[in-house]
Structure 1
Amino acid sequence: MKQQVYVHEWDGYHSVLKNRMAMKIQYIILLLFILIGHANGKITPPSFLNTLNEPMEYVKVFPYNHCWGIIFLNEAEILKLVLGKKRVIRIEHFGSTSIPGMSAKPIVDIIIGLNKFYLDGNEIEKLLNLGYNFIENSHYCQRFYLQKRGDISINLSITKYKSETWKDCLSVRDYLKTHPVSMRKYATIKNEAIEKGFYSIDKYSAYKQFFFKHLVKNARDWWCND
């Protein structure tokens, strides 16, 4: 049986053209940024390089699929080779696709823990060549956020190893793995969001926000006391 994949949707032909132009502009700016930057310097992508007019992604939730774990393992090996062992301390699979039995959007969440929080021009170029797009550069939470879409769909977070972002992502994952009642409740809320017609990522996330906020707090407390 052919596996269903995550699909982008656009609102009309003009939106397609507008998005393509925005992506071209983003790549041109990034390439100029790499060329101008010092070859061995520590460079971070400018914050205005968030993807412009991204195509609207509509949420689809699927039962757990063991293939998500295989996708993670394969991509993790590639990322280690690209960024290098000296830079990458650990790579982890987190989010709903990392939790056996949990329904999820078929998008694999990966987090990379670096020795220092920066990306140089060479590293940026390598990630672009792997098909990743920079979505967010947040110094507030020390995270680069990238996406890859195609035959496989990946959300990639890059942060400093053991940063607060690192701890939050992994504490929620491990909490849900060891607290089946909370896992089932979270799965129910996600399914409710779809049943109520909240297919856009903004509405879907907003519906889960109250529960997820408390989930993060409980996971932090549990992580600290474990």
Structure 2
Amino acid sequence: MKVELSSYDLNWPKAFQAERGFLQELIGDWRVGTIEHVGSTAVPGMVAKPVIDIMFGVESLPASRAAIEILARNGYCHSPYKTDVMHWFCKPSPEMRTHHLHLIPYHSALWMERIAFRDILRNKPDVAREYAELKQALAADMADDREAYTQQKWPFIKRVLDDAKNG
């Protein structure tokens, strides 16, 4: 799938809320903690791939394994991506994605990191602007390599998170 960024869309929070309700009804028995809108579509004004990233808190990966089959029967495609820290899904298909779903142990290191980065971008316009510029440059250079695009953002994210910890 090509890396294509879109201007911020006011419908993204509504799309998250709708999917959040669907997921709560579908797999709410596995929920521990909250269901969070993360990623760039969760940051007002941010350019983003138009894919809603949802982080769904679970007790553990083994304890939530049964949710995989239920999600697969209800429009989500499971992929073995970062299996040591999450169960990862996309919807409706790997070729055309509108949603990414991450079942992640609630309050795990990955959970806390994603919430922290989202909140920094929401609350620090200068950091959000710098991140948007980086994303646009990477999307221009790596339009055909989604994985490289994602990996190349990591040094910036790590620096921002480290600065916040040491701040």
TM superposition outliers: structure 1 runs of 4+ over 4 Å: none
Q: Check if 1:185 corresponds to 2:130.
A: yes
Q: Higher strand share goes to which structure?
A: 2
Contact residue 60 and residue 199 of structure 1 kept, 8 A: no
Give the deviation of 1:206 after TM superposition: 3.7
What residue number does 1:149 align with?
92
Q: Which has the larger displacement, 186-195 or 81-90?
A: 81-90
Separation in 2, partners of 1:217, 1:174 = 14
What residue number does 1:163 align with?
108
Would you say how many aligned residue pairs link Structure 1 and Structure 2? Answer: 164
What residue number does 1:113 align with?
57
CA, structure 1 residues 77+198, in 2 after alignment: closer, same or farther (shift >3 Å)? same
TM-score normalised to structure 2 length = 0.86
CA, structure 1 residues 63+119, in 2 after alignment: closer, same or farther (shift >3 Å)? same
SS at match of 1:158: strand
Give the deviation of 1:160 after TM superposition: 1.6
Q: Check if 1:209 corresponds to 2:133.
A: no
Amino acid at match of 1:81: E
Cα deviations across residues 65-96 of structure 1 (Å, max 9, x unaligned)?
A: 01111111001101111112563431000010
Q: What RMSD in Å do the two structures reach over aligned CA positions?
A: 2.2
CA, structure 1 residues 205+84, in 2 after alignment: closer, same or farther (shift >3 Å)? closer
What residue number does 1:94 align with?
38
SS at match of 1:148: strand
Separation in 1, partners of 2:81, 2:137 = 32
TM-score normalised to structure 1 length = 0.65
CA, structure 1 residues 139+189, in 2 after alignment: closer, same or farther (shift >3 Å)? closer
Cα deviations across residues 146-196 of structure 1 (Å, max 9, x unaligned)?
A: 111368611111012111111011110001111111100000011112333
SS at match of 2:49: coil
Q: 2:144 aligns with which of 192, 199, 217?
A: 199
Gaps in structure 1 of 5+ consecutive residues: 1-56
Task: Determine which structure has more spread, i.e. the larger CA radius of gyration.
Answer: 1
Gaps in structure 2 of 5+ consecutive residues: none
SS at match of 2:80: strand
The structure whose RCO (Cα within 8 Å, separation 6+) is larger is: 2
CA, structure 1 residues 195+71, in 2 after alignment: closer, same or farther (shift >3 Å)? same
Give the deviation of 1:137 after TM superposition: 5.8
Percent of paired sites with the same residue: 29
SS at match of 1:84: helix
